Amino acid sequence: MKNLFVLMLFVILGCYHSNAGNNKVLIIGIDGCRPDALKRANTPNIDRLWREGAYSFSAQTDPISSSGICWTGMLTGVWHQKHNVVTNEYKNPNIEKYPHFFKRLKEYNPMAKTYSIVNWKPIHNILQEGDANFEKSRLFDRTVTKTARQVIKREDVDAIFIQLDEVDHSGHVNGFSPDSVKYLKSIEKADKRVGTLIKSLKQRKEYDGENWLVILTTDHGGSGYEHGKNIDEHTTIFYILNGKDVEQGLIKDKVDVVDVAVTALHHLGVPIKDEWELDGKVAGLN
């Protein structure tokens, strides 16, 4: 009887770990995309994600609303006072104490497969050796999408981060405004790329047996031809979750950019430790 109990316990634990291993995360960041402009643009793919998922169009990014600071906060789960990235030059980042969430995942599960594919190369300044199984940067958005599409369809993936940069570029050239036609057009192009990535996800052979969480967000907004200030137009961002485990509808609690890493880790089954001193929290999941 005792042996039977032990056998049943192993079976239960084995099933638990198998199910936990099926949890996957896809994070797509659209650089410099204002939430009000996103809502005005024609974005059927993104609209489907938030209408069928959990969302906030009033989430907040770092008060220093520049790319390096905000992407680092998103991917580490802490504000700039801790990660110490305060400019786009990434001088003396405190990534030993506050690393990329990929490192947290790999410390918990060394077999986890992680990928980071970005247009803007400095994002990878916080990756340490071994954090990513594959990293690629300095790509046009179309090449980011093509590379990510191939990875998503063909590879064993646990967590993948994708950054599209051309909306931010359009904002700097054409103005960060929901009234800028060219800025809206750049968001619509990004929406098509998001649609391509989601389609690729659903074409995975293993997709039906996997539990994917899609996180779609941005690093900052903007006004005029710039960003970086602590004003609403620069610090207000969107946060969209889609997947089986999301609590559908408007997220009523406050959401911050630092919640992205913590929410991803939670979905991936990584226990959040107090000693990590993370500033983010789980947002939008049941």
| Residue 265 resides in a domain | yes
| Residue 193 resides in a domain | yes
| Residue 100 resides in a domain | yes
Q: What is the pLDDT of residue 85?
A: 98
Cα–Cα nearest to 201, from 150, 246, 256, 131: 150
| Residue 143 resides in a domain | yes
Q: What is the pLDDT of residue 3?
A: 46
Q: What is the pLDDT of residue 57?
A: 98
Q: What is the pLDDT of residue 17?
A: 39
Residue 88, classified by CB atoms within 10 Å of its CB into exposed (0-12), middle (13-18) or buried (19+), is middle
CA neighbours closer than 13 Å in the CB half-sphere of residue 62: 29
Q: What is the pLDDT of residue 5?
A: 39
pLDDT tens for the chain, 286 residues: list them.
Answer: 444 433 343 333 343 333 457 999 999 999 999 999 999 999 999 999 999 999 999 999 999 999 999 999 999 999 999 999 999 999 999 999 999 999 999 999 999 999 999 999 999 999 999 999 999 999 999 999 999 999 999 999 999 999 999 999 999 999 999 999 999 999 999 999 999 999 999 999 999 999 999 999 999 999 999 999 999 999 999 999 999 999 999 999 999 999 999 999 999 999 999 999 999 999 999 9
Contact 44, 206 (CB under 8 A): no
| Residue 66 resides in a domain | yes
Q: What is the pLDDT of residue 20?
A: 54
| Residue 11 resides in a domain | no
What is the rounded distance in angstroms from the CA atom of residue 192 to the CA atom of residue 187?
9
Going by their DSSP bridges, the two strands 211-217 and 159-164 should be labelled as: unpaired
Total domains present in the chain? 1
| Residue 284 resides in a domain | no
| Residue 16 resides in a domain | no
What is the rounded distance in angstroms from the CA atom of residue 168 to the CA atom of residue 88?
14
Give residue 187's domain range: 23-276
> In this structure, what CATH number is given to the domain that contains residue 176?
3.40.720.10
